[in-house]
Amino acid sequence: MPTQNLPPSTFQMLERNVGKKIRVIIEPAYGFEGTLVAVTQDPAGIWLSEVDTIVLRATLAQPIPQVSSREETNDVYLNLKTVQRIEILQQTQNKQ
C-alpha cells in the first residue's frame, strides 16, 4: 500500500520559518513584527524576539491595512488561539 503524503501541519510550517522575520496579526488593527525563535505545541504558541508592536490602519483610499505606527517591545510569547494571521516577511537584499 503506497504511503500518502499528508499536508504539513501548522507546526511544521512554522518550524520551517524559525529564524525568519514574521508579522503576527492579533486583531484587525493590532499585531507584532519580530523574529520567530521557537514554536511550542503544548500550549500551542510561538516565541518572537526583536519585536515591534504594530498598529495597522486601512482607509477607503487604501483598503489593505498598512503599518501606521510601531513601538519596540521585549520578547513575546503568543498563544496561537489569539492569532488571526501570520505573514512571513521577505528579506530584501541590497544590490551594490
Domain boundaries, the chain: 10-88
pTM of the model: 0.80
Confidence band for 25, pLDDT divided at 50, 70 and 90:
very high
pLDDT of residue 95: 52
Contacts of 10 (CB under 8 A, 6+ apart): 80
Contacts of 46 (CB under 8 A, 6+ apart): 14, 24, 36, 38, 39, 40, 77, 78, 80, 83
Confidence band for 42, pLDDT divided at 50, 70 and 90:
confident
When the candidates are 3.40.50.10490, 1.10.10.10, 3.30.2270.10, 2.30.30.100, the CATH number that belongs to 10-88 is: 2.30.30.100
- Could you give the CA distance from residue 21 to residue 42 in angstroms, rounded to a whole number? 23
pLDDT in tens, 56-70: 999 999 888 899 999
Confidence band for 29, pLDDT divided at 50, 70 and 90:
very high
- Could you give the CA distance from residue 38 to residue 29 in angstroms, rounded to a whole number? 25
Question: Average pLDDT of the chain?
Answer: 88
